[in-house]
Amino acid sequence: MDVKIKTALISLFHKEPARLLIKELHDKGVKLYSTGGTLNYIKEIGCEAEAIESLTEYPSILGGRVKTLHPKVFGGILARSDNTGDQQQLKEYDIPVFDMVVVDLYPFEDTVSSNASNDEVIEKIDIGGISLIRAAAKNYKNVLIVPSREYYDLAVDIVKKQDAASSIDQRKLFASYAFNVSSHYDTMIFSYFDDGNELTCFKKSLQSSKTLRYGENPHQWGKFFGNYNELFNQLNGKELSYNNILDIDAGLNLISEFNKPSFAILKHNNACGMASRDSIEEAYRAALSSDPVSAFGGILISNRNISKENAYQITKLFFEVIVAPAFDKEALEVLSEKKNRIILELKEHKLPATFFRSALNGVLVQMRDDVMTEPNDWQYVTKNKPDSRQASDLLFANKLVKHTKSNAIVLAKDNTLLGSGTGQTSRVDALQHAINKAKEHGHSLEGAVMASDAFFPFPDCVEIAHKAGIKAVIQPGGSKKDNESIEYCNANNMAMVFTGKRHFKH
């Protein structure tokens, strides 16, 4: 059933974006009602409108907090055209019918983001506008609701092309837009009041989305909800894939641990190359040497700008994505020679304080693992204490193992990843895999260090590591058999420290 738009109520915070819609409604002879600043704006652009106060016979009160909350407004929105009782009451109380409602809510999110005071934020909680949206959406069989600036163009098309008459399908579609707007608005308000301190329910609302080429595999569809353009500028290349996004996320979390010039190469969310040096050029060369075979087709991430000289070295490697704070003009030209190569310029950003993922028939939520113990926090449990070089390597390796899939072992020397065992069901298997990786690429483990994401249940790992040349170990501690590992280290002149912090990652 088509409904001719004869009367519309317009209530806007941002007025100018609605100019064309207002003019089109006016030109079609639609009677307009409005309030305060919106009413003034409508008249300023040469259109006629009635003040809502002429209908309610009440002025705007409480500093503008109450303008439209009145039975003569909501009765005209909620009345059912096919309900005899509703129609009789409209006549009895002289209530006009509204066929269209246009709303632009107070900018609550923007106010919060601007670090405004609590009082300013509270005043930007829209009451009347959100009530108008919900009422009109509920009565979509009779009313067309336009709930935000995002939908003005669609509404203009209806007014222009359909002679100001809306179909039932259009009204139902706009009602879905309306409830999306209202539910998101309420979720943002809840998040502000909840402040993340006492998570008694899970609410998340992300309005931006991007359809991906596919999910993890070509037979799976995939979407990203959020706006990753807030994190970086894409300077070159194709659209990010589902797997690209996962790898970039892992890379950003990893590289955020390091202050020195550092370069990481990731595959399947794990670092296959990682190094910290005095210059980013040196860091890249060292990171590539970790495992040049696995680096093929990987994700590259740097915490320093990329120079032309660095770009010439990097471009020799086939990779999908590179992320850095900035790229010299010549470096960008070199790296952009491959049109599909994704180049991302990282912006200043803050990583989320909580993580969530679907599990079973619900959602798991946890705080970010933002703990990293420093040498002053360590417990030195062996007779041999790590020297300054070993302590630097132990800290490097512990940062890296924290961001490696469990069970995880990392072997490092001179702030360079030599080999890692990732995602193994046995810690011994993880260590053996790390040793084999290091040997495979010609790395000597003599004098290297070992980091474990969790404690050693038995002394077998420190024994295997010692026989491979490892001289220092960092681990959380906490096993019933810690003493056996300590005794082995003491008997073989190894240094071992406990952090007291486990870093499982699944």
Q: Nearest to residue 411, comparing CAs of 384, 441, 387?
A: 441
Report long-range pairs for 208-211 (Cβ below 8 Å, ≥24 apart): 210/239
Residue 191's H or E segment, with its range, is helix 168-194
The active-site residue, picked from 23, 28, 31, 138, is 138
User: Which strands make up the sheet holding 342-346, listed edge to edge?
Assistant: 232-236, 342-346, 319-324, 298-302, 262-267, 270-276, 416-421, 409-413, 449-452, 472-475, 495-498, 379-380
Comparing CA positions, the residue from 472, 500, 260 lying closest to residue 387 is: 472
Q: Give yes or no: 138 in active site.
A: yes
Residue 484 to residues 189, 305, 379, Cα–Cα distance (Å): 54, 46, 16
DSSP lists the bridge partners of residue 11 as 103
Closest CA to 208 of 169, 238, 172, 180: 180
* CA–CA dist 166, 176 (Å, integer): 15
∠242-359-206 over CA atoms, to 5°?
Answer: 55
Query: Rounded to whole angstroms, how far apart are CA atoms 205 and 313?
Result: 42
Length of the chain: 506
Which is the catalytic residue, given 28, 72, 268, 338?
268
CB-based contacts of 391, cutoff 8 Å, min separation 6: 375
Using an 8 Å Cβ cutoff, are 232 and 346 in contact?
yes
Cis amide leading into 270 (omega within 30): no
Nearest to 257, CA basis, from 410, 439, 433, 442:
410
Count Cα neighbours of 282 within 13 Å in the Cβ-side half-sphere: 9
CB 448 within 8 A of CB 459: no
Q: Which are the catalytic amino acids?
A: 138, 268
